[in-house]
Amino acid sequence: MARGDEIIRIPRLRAVLLALTSLVVIGIGVFLRRYRGADRTAMALSMLAGAGICLMIGLIWFQWRFGGKAMPRRRLWGIGVRYGALAGACTNGVGIVLLAVRWALDQQAGPVGDPFMPAFLRALQSLGFEISLGLIAYLAVGTGFGGSCGLAIAEAIGISAERGPSLEAGLPVQDAVESPRGEA
């Protein structure tokens, strides 16, 4: 039996989601309170926090959609790569928004504190222009890294999943393996 044809039952990920959510919230809190907006560490933390947010949202969606259902391991890998690449591409945008929030908070702390929304929009416009110069490279790196992380997370889920009969054995699978479009 090929490893990709192995049927697995996707485990419930509530404990993992709770731990990840608490780490992301702590990371965002540290980022927003500790670092200045123009600091390189703040830029790196904004991307890490953005990746954490995208991963958290992706795992919540995955848990809601597939938690407790049976599927071939190969399909799990495909889902991991596809949605990991999507999350990797979105990480850049989330990181930019977080950095703009940090910059707007820095502006409010100054002696001539601007209101949050105009400062946020000005920072977002400035960051958006700077990022747009290397947008293709950012998207390519984010997509590639996100896809490989998605595959690694899918394999980690597959390792912890309950094994079932193989597709080659022709045995019926409870919960029916869903088609890619969600039709049963």
- Whether 183 is in a domain gets the answer no
Give the per-residue pLDDT at 45: 83
- Whether 180 is in a domain gets the answer no
CB 31 within 8 A of CB 181: no
Give the per-residue pLDDT at 175: 45
- Whether 53 is in a domain gets the answer yes
- Whether 176 is in a domain gets the answer no
How far, in Å, are 151, 152, 159 from residue 156 at the CA level?
9, 6, 5
pTM of the model: 0.75
Residue numbers in the chain where pLDDT is lower than 50: 1, 167-168, 171-179, 181, 183-184
- Whether 178 is in a domain gets the answer no
Q: Quote the radius of gyration of the chain (alpha carbons, Å).
A: 20
CA gap 80, 138 in Å, rounded:
20
CB contact burial 68-106 (16+ within 10 A = b; e otherwise): eebbbbebbbbbbbbbbbbbbbbbbbbbbbbbbbbbbbb
- Whether 87 is in a domain gets the answer yes
- The total of structural domains in the chain comes to 1
- Whether 26 is in a domain gets the answer yes
- pLDDT tens digit sequence for 36-64: 656 677 778 888 888 889 988 988 888 88
- Whether 177 is in a domain gets the answer no
Write out the residue range of the structural domain in which residue 39 sits.
3-166
